[in-house]
Amino acid sequence: MNTVYLKIDKNVKVVKRSFCLKELGEVKCEDKALEAKVKLLKIPAPGIQGPGRYIFSIMDIIDAISKEFPGTEVNNLGEADFIVTLERKNTPSPLWQWGKTGFVCVLCFFGAAFSIMSFNNDIGITQLFGQLYQEFTGEASDGFTVLEIAYSVGVGLGILIFFNHFAKMRGSTDPTPLETEMRKYEDDIDKTLIEARDRKSGSSH
């Protein structure tokens, strides 16, 4: 008996309503001829009507393989339930993409500036720098000294170092904190969608 090994990720992107197994993940088998046929196996997806996210069970894949290749054993090494995301074919214009990017940049800039100013106001950073400057120099601060300059530069450098990403330059190959949080957010969405489908299936029985 031939054994087919499957490894499918939790979220898979496709560009067409009709797709084959190799588009969903890795397929391995000692019988290379069988492996090639299984990879080209069309996966039934009657529920996919348009762009969006759709929940699939590995049991659907196993059933499709068993019907097409009777007597074949399937060993799943990936997810038990996974999401197939059908993306839109039409891509937005570059002008629209640049516009959205610019809007997000402006929003983040002023949001971060407001947060930093609110924090500085709460802790009284102006008075603190004034007292420190007078303590060490014996002169009154005019509000624009080496302390304010060093603090401003340090905040900017600290943000760049913490996020480990500026334009296409990176300090290391480790994922940035933003990438880590985005991955957690995507995982939470996938988990919620799968659990919601399972609850609906359970309540329907």
What pTM did the predictor assign? 0.61
Task: Give CA–CA dist 182/11, Å, rounded.
Answer: 14
Q: Does domain 3-86 have CATH number 1.20.1580.10?
A: no
Task: Give CA–CA dist 181/179, Å, rounded.
Answer: 5
Q: Containing H/E element for 33?
A: helix 32-39
Output the six-digit token pair for 52. 């969006």
What angle do helix axes 146-163 and 177-204 make, rounded to 10 degrees? 50
Bridge-based pairing of strands 81-86 and 11-14 is parallel
| Angle value at C-alpha 85, between 84 and 91, nearest 5 degrees | 155
| Angle value at C-alpha 48, between 85 and 52, nearest 5 degrees | 35
Per-residue pLDDT, 204: 56
Task: Give CA–CA dist 125/54, Å, rounded.
Answer: 52
Domain boundaries, the chain: 3-86, 92-118, 119-200
Per-residue pLDDT, 165: 64
Residue 113: which residues within 8 A CB-CB, separation 6 or more? Answer: none
7 SS3 class: strand
Per-residue pLDDT, 40: 92
Residue of 15, 18, 40, 39 lying closest to 29 (CA atoms): 39
Predicted confidence pLDDT, tens digits, the chain (205 residues): 789 999 998 888 888 888 899 999 899 999 999 999 999 999 888 778 778 888 888 998 999 999 999 988 999 998 888 888 888 776 678 888 889 889 988 998 898 889 888 988 888 888 888 888 888 888 887 778 888 888 888 888 887 777 766 656 666 677 777 778 888 888 888 888 888 877 776 655 5
Task: Give CA–CA dist 80/94, Å, rounded.
Answer: 38
